[in-house]
Amino acid sequence: MRMCHLLVAASLLAGGPAFPQGDEAAADDVAELAEVVVAEPRWYRDEVRKDGEHVSVIPGEVIEASSARGLYDIVSQVPGVYAIKHGARAYGGGTDATAGLFIRGIGGAPQTGIRVMLDGMPQQQGMFAHPLADSLMLNWADRVDIIKGASSVLHGNGAFGGVINIVPREPEDGIHGRGESSFGTFRTQEHTGHLTFKEGPFDLLGSGGFFKTEGHRRHTGNWVHNYFGRSRYRLNDEFRLTGGWMHYRSRWENPGPTHAPFRTKGSIWEHGFNTSIENSFDRVHGRANFYSDFGHIRMSGAPGSHTRYESYGLDVPQTFKLWEDGECTLGFTLERYGGHFVNPAKNFTDFITTTAPYVQVRHTFRDTVTPSAGIRMNYSPEFGWQWAPQFGMHYRVLDRTTLYGTVARGYNLPAIAQLVIFPGASRDLDPETVWHYETGISQGVGERVRLNLAAFIDRGSDLIRTTGVFPLQRVRNIGTFTHKGLELSGTWTPVDNLDLYVAATGLDPDNQTQGNPGARINSGILYRLWKLRLSLDGEYADHRFGQDDEQDRLSSYLLLNGKIACEVGKEGWPAGGEIYFAMENMLNQEYQYVSGYPMPGTAFTMGLAFDF
């Protein structure tokens, strides 16, 4: 029956989402430390790295063309990635937030098993160990890379279910920029802009944004300020200095579920920075990267709280090409995170410190087969040693056929909130661990079609969950779990001005059914004609539940979103741009991601963007 639903949805959505072709993504980011094999055509696309990892890539022009409002909306179009929201805009990422993110069944609210990075800088709230969804505006992004499955060797603690890395734009010579303003339903408004500058060895990227909405229900309003900057200076052919900065403020309200209203509201202030020096020699390349993130959260309601958090880290990877057709990466990571928490019942300060050396080796035989192996050894005084091995295989059978596979162990240390803050918290928690197994094939058909099929199994233990009902809640390790599934995706460019995309996901999340639909179809279309650009994206989801253990069955839904844009200026103007009109939930579907939080019906947005 589930497969029948998938086929019906595919027939409805097959004319749906795909995105424009763009330039090949840069592959020189030393944080990735892996060669990339690019699949054509390019909208959403799959990349198979030489270490066997399967990476989903969303180019910046896809983000620009889509009607998606933020990170959660855009990544949920990727097979195996699913976002749950309480309203039109995601904020936060914790238990009181209006958003949760899952990768192949791992994650949630808070999504502490997913590592999110801005230009290689980990982005997480130090006390609760989760990223803040609405702080991640994407108007400055060149692309978003998504690794699905454990990837702890190179990315460490938190890369338990996957990694999301937002890569900034590469500045071009001179001064360039883009500004955008839009207004829409629910008195929503958004204003963003970015500026790039490059001259000689120096380049600069600056970005800012503001979002505000009153929401589709009473007490669902929120607003966000977000700023991001990066500057780089090349000292010589061997060394480059980089500095990055991020600032974020927001306020929000949460009305609670319709069957039991319970209003809360809060505010967040966050600031982060990183500085690094990159080195590149004939046989050695890498970098030393120091990063920091700190801020505070104020919550009102019952009982109310104030959290000050901070995190610091140093990551030093170096890749050595000491023999032909192979290389070895050696690295070391030091992290410290935590802060101070106070409410009427608790007042304490706590930190967790981790250190981890790691190594990865790979070698290519006859330009065809590339096996790889690596391991990270993580130590913290609180939880002892955690080991994370990884084995991969990349096999280029033919020019357009690649087989790949990976076996990896991931780990996720308990957050301080789970140890001492949440009701029923316990210092007896063990780290979550998972063994990830994946195999797949990437197949090109001519110059215009690309297909990818992936099968995976995740076998984990000590998953941390909150059980019981307040005030008898308990935070505990619940034992073992097995997630397994299949993902099929394809892109097709039948003519130069038309891109098509479709993907199907089948997931068996064991008894972790909350936020993990068993069947999904994503699809899209992008059509360009003269100065017009039309984009549509669709999603069908079924076998959904509001609670674990297949409790609280939720109805299936079919969502269609669209955006039409028209170029203005360009020829003979000092600046060009576009005007656009977007619709979300075009079919006016009644649906919920979370029980008691009905999602908005059809919503409209009109906007103007200009480039210079």
pLDDT digits (tens, 9 = 90+) for 36-61: 443 344 567 888 888 888 899 998 87
Looking at residue 89, its pLDDT comes to: 66
The closest alpha carbon to 436, from 107, 31, 108, 159, belongs to: 159
Q: What global pTM score does this model have? A: 0.89
Beta bridge partners of 338: 310, 351
Burial call 501-513: b when 16+ CB within 10 Å, e when fewer: bbbbbbbebbebb
Distance CA(406)–CA(391), nearest Å, equals 6
pLDDT digits (tens, 9 = 90+) for 387-415: 999 999 999 999 899 999 999 999 999 98
Question: What kind of fold does domain 2-188+312-611 have according to CATH?
Answer: Maltoporin; Chain A (2.40.170)
Residues 71, 77, 78, 82: is their CA dihedral positive or negative? Answer: positive
* 395 neighbors 368 (Cβ within 8 angstroms): yes
Q: How many degrees, rounded to 5, is the angle at CA 111 between CA 287 and CA 424?
A: 125
DSSP states of 55-100: EEEEEHHHHHHS---SHHHHHTTSTTEEEEESSSS----STTSSEE
Greatest distance between any 2 Cα atoms in the chain: 69
Query: Parallel, antiparallel, or unpaired: how do β-strands 162-168 and 121-122 relate?
Result: unpaired
Looking at residue 135, its pLDDT comes to: 62
pLDDT digits (tens, 9 = 90+) for 159-190: 989 999 999 989 999 999 999 999 999 999 99
Distance CA(293)–CA(405), nearest Å, equals 35
> What single-letter amino acid sits at 316?
V
Q: Pick out the chain residues at pLDDT < 70.
A: 1-43, 88-99, 109-111, 133-135, 301-303, 469-471, 570-575
Three-state secondary structure of 196-262: EEEECCEEEEEEEEEEEECCCCCCCCEEEEEEEEEEEEECCCCEEEEEEEEEEEEEEEECCCCCCCC
Encoded tokens for 260: 């039991």
* 221 neighbors 250 (Cβ within 8 angstroms): no
